């Protein structure tokens, strides 16, 4: 099925590959072009000969790009070449904001329909709403033109302080409105949700580690502490990593002074050991860290520091196993390379990195996804890999090296048909599309206007939503049998995506978490103490 959602925020590359992420915040300035290395001179001469003397016309830029890609492919799985066309979007995602108007949209019948107005952006302040049709941008007509997504983005996105006049049709009022919007920074939060999940128990979900992550985390934690916080759940599931610095800062807030956080070893064999400072925001309360096979890099640094210092419990499934540090280096003309320059080790000396010497990049990433099929812990082979090494924490607990962080409490991956279907619904954005279409058809009927009340009250029109969803599944030929066992979960998903489109991500995740087996298991563990 073709996905219809297009994000004006261009962060999709974050989820393409964990290897696209890097461990440090500093770009390097290098002058390789001036190198006198014989190999560099040979390549320069070859390009010169091909450009000036070869009998056929060639595209030198394309040839050089291919050579670079082939060289990088021979390195580790996380060193990558980044063409200039991708650099801006990746930079935005890690900066913590982008410049534009701040909406997500879908193309419906050749018309731009706003599916979500992003918090903190110019469109939110101007009064745009989910469901609005954007008809014109300045004097440029945007409907009935067969515009591609990229063309729409180019007309709406722009530098801060630049104006754009939007002509919008609002279906609910059957009226046309004009909005004068000044483009500006739109936050890309790395903290998806933060709230008190139960009395004395807080929850924070971190989706990546960007330049703004620590400031976001610190504010979230301080707010939770105002509500008598004693237990804290940190959700790092699906977090592919990012900058190392905010991960170290967050770990520091959990640890007493002079505790090791991470060890970084460069190509010269020298090891740099980061230790905690004397001030931490949450050094004594109970701590629970949720991880899965998509938790990588900086996420694993936090999990490893917490586990090796006997500070809290790691819960979930074995993490990805990315223990390589990348630095971003310019190649010229906007092209860049993220080159692995060091390795991570946990405080006990465990290597986070999985073996990769004998596998291709495709096999390397496929192996990580295979772990999703594991659903028991009775056999050690299900959680440990062949070359696992045994380490001990200061309190004598056994922890395992060999790649990734093995959880203290394993939470199985439920592979029942209903559970598999649920995961598919969440990952495919099918429910998101369904909710948008239903709200768009019945905006006057589904008049949800208050986030707290919506969260606390039971979802209305349950029967209508279920019947409409059955019709939706038939339309897309989805093999789903809605029954008494999965109906409540589907209704919960529908409620969650209504919250996402009409309110905010925090309310969305709060609703999802009500039936999440990881969350329920963590709360069970907390109550057991």
- Condensed to tens digits (0 to 9), the pLDDT of residues 520-529 reads 999 999 998 7
Least reliable range by pLDDT among 402-411, 415-424, 430-439, 487-496: 415-424
Locate the domains of the chain by residue range: 97-187, 191-414, 417-525
Per-residue model confidence (pLDDT) at position 362: 82
* Residue range 472-476: mean pLDDT, rounded: 91
- Average pLDDT of every residue of the chain: 85
Backbone angles phi, psi at 132, to 5 degrees: -60, 140
Per-residue model confidence (pLDDT) at position 15: 32
Per-residue model confidence (pLDDT) at position 373: 58
Report CA Rg, the chain. Answer: 25
Q: pLDDT tens digits, residue range 184-235?
A: 999 999 999 999 999 999 999 999 999 999 999 999 999 999 999 999 999 9
Report the percent of the chain where pLDDT is more than 70.
87
Helix, coil or strand: residue 112 = strand
- Rounded (10°) CA dihedral 195, 315, 361, 207: 10
Q: pLDDT tens digits, residue range 90-128?
A: 777 788 888 899 999 998 888 999 999 999 999 999 999
User: Which residues does residue 179 pair with via DSSP β-bridges, in sequence order?
Assistant: 166
Report the relative pairing of strands 260-266 and 271-275 from DSSP bridges: antiparallel
Exposure class string for 133-167: b at 16+ Cβ within 10 A, else e = bbbbbeeeebbeeebebeebbebbbbeeeeebebb
d(CA 423, CA 416): 11
Q: Is the predicted pLDDT of residue 298 greater than 80, yes or no?
A: yes
8 Å CB contact between 93 and 14: yes
Q: Which of 370, 392, 397, 390 is nearest to 382 (CA)?
A: 370
Q: pLDDT tens digits, residue range 255-279?
A: 999 999 999 999 888 999 999 998 8
Least reliable range by pLDDT among 33-42, 70-79, 287-296, 415-424: 415-424
Question: Which letter does DSSP use for residue 390 in this model?
Answer: E
Q: pLDDT tens digits, residue range 309-357?
A: 999 999 999 999 999 999 888 888 888 899 999 999 999 999 999 888 7
8 Å CB contact between 195 and 456: no
List Cβ neighbours of 292 (8 Å cut-off, separation of 6 or more): 237, 238, 316, 317, 319
Per-residue model confidence (pLDDT) at position 35: 53
* Residue range 168-190: mean pLDDT, rounded: 94
Question: Which letter does DSSP use for residue 9 in this model?
Answer: S
Q: Is the predicted pLDDT of residue 23 greater than 90, yes or no?
A: no
Report the relative pairing of strands 97-100 and 184-187 from DSSP bridges: antiparallel
Residue of 28 and 393 predicted with greater confidence? 393
Tell the CATH superfamily of the 97-187 domain.
PDZ domain (2.30.42.10)
* Residue range 2-21: mean pLDDT, rounded: 34
CB 301: neighbour CB atoms within 10 A?
29
CB 506: neighbour CB atoms within 10 A?
20
Per-residue model confidence (pLDDT) at position 501: 92
Range among 53-57, 373-377, 493-497 rated most confident:
493-497
8 Å CB contact between 106 and 7: no
Per-residue model confidence (pLDDT) at position 115: 92
Please give the CATH number for the structural domain made up of 191-414.
3.90.226.10
How far is CA 87 from its chain centroid? 17
């Amino acid at each position: 099925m073709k996905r219809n959602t297009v994000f004006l925020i261009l962060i999709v590359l974050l989820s393409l590959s964990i290897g696209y992420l890097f461990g440090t915040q500093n770009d390097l300035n290098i002058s390789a072009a001036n190198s006198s290395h014989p190999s560099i001179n040979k390549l320069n001469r070859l390009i010169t000969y091909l450009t000036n003397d070869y009998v056929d016309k060639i595209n030198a830029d394309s040839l050089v790009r291919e050579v670079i890609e082939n060289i990088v492919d021979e390195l580790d799985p996380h060193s990558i070449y980044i063409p200039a066309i991708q650099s801006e979007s990746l930079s935005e995602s890690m900066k913590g904001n982008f410049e534009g108007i701040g909406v997500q949209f879908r193309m419906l019948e050749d018309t731009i329909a706003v599916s979500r107005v992003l918090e903190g952006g110019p469109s939110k302040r101007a009064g745009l709403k989910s469901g609005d049709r954007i008809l014109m941008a300045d004097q440029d007509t945007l409907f009935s033109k067969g515009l591609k997504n990229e063309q729409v983005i180019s007309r709406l996105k722009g530098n801060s302080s630049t104006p754009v006049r939007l002509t919008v049709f609002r279906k609910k009022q059957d009226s046309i409105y004009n909005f004068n919007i000044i483009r500006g920074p739109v936050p890309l939060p790395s903290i998806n949700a933060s709230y008190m999940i139960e009395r004395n128990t807080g929850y924070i979900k971190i989706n990546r580690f960007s330049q703004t992550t620590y400031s976001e985390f610190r504010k979230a934690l301080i707010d939770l502490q105002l509500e008598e916080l004693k237990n804290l759940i940190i959700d790092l599931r699906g977090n592919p990593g990012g900058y190392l610095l905010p991960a170290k800062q967050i770990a520091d807030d959990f640890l007493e002074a002079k505790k090791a956080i991470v060890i970084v070893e460069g190509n010269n064999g020298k090891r740099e050991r980061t230790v905690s400072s004397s001030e931490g925001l949450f050094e004594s309360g109970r701590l629970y860290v949720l991880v899965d096979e998509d938790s990588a890099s900086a996420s694993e640094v936090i999990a490893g520091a917490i586990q090796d210092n006997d500070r809290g419990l790691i819960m979930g499934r074995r993490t990805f196993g990315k223990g390589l540090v990348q630095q971003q280096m310019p190649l010229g003309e906007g092209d860049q390379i993220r080159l692995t320059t060091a390795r991570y080790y946990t405080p006990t000396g465990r290597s986070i990195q999985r073996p990769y010497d004998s596998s291709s990049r495709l096999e390397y990433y496929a192996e990580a996804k295979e772990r999703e099929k594991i659903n028991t812990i009775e056999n050690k082979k299900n959680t440990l890999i062949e070359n696992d090494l045994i380490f001990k924490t200061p309190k004598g607990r056994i922890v395992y090296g060999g790649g990734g962080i093995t959880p203290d409490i394993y939470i199985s991956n439920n592979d029942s048909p209903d559970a598999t279907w649920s995961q598919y619904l969440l990952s495919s954005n099918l429910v998101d599309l369904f909710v948008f279409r239903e709200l768009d058809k019945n905006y006057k009927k589904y008049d949800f206007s208050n986030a707290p009340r919506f969260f606390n009250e039971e979802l209305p029109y349950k029967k209508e939503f279920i019947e409409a969803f059955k019709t939706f599944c038939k339309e897309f030929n989805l093999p789903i049998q809605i029954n008494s066992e999965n109906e409540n979960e589907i209704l919960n998903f529908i409620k969650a995506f209504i919250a996402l489109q009409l309110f905010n991500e925090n309310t969305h995740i709060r609703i999802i978490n009500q039936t999440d087996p990881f969350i329920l298991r963590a709360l069970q563990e907390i109550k057991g103490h």
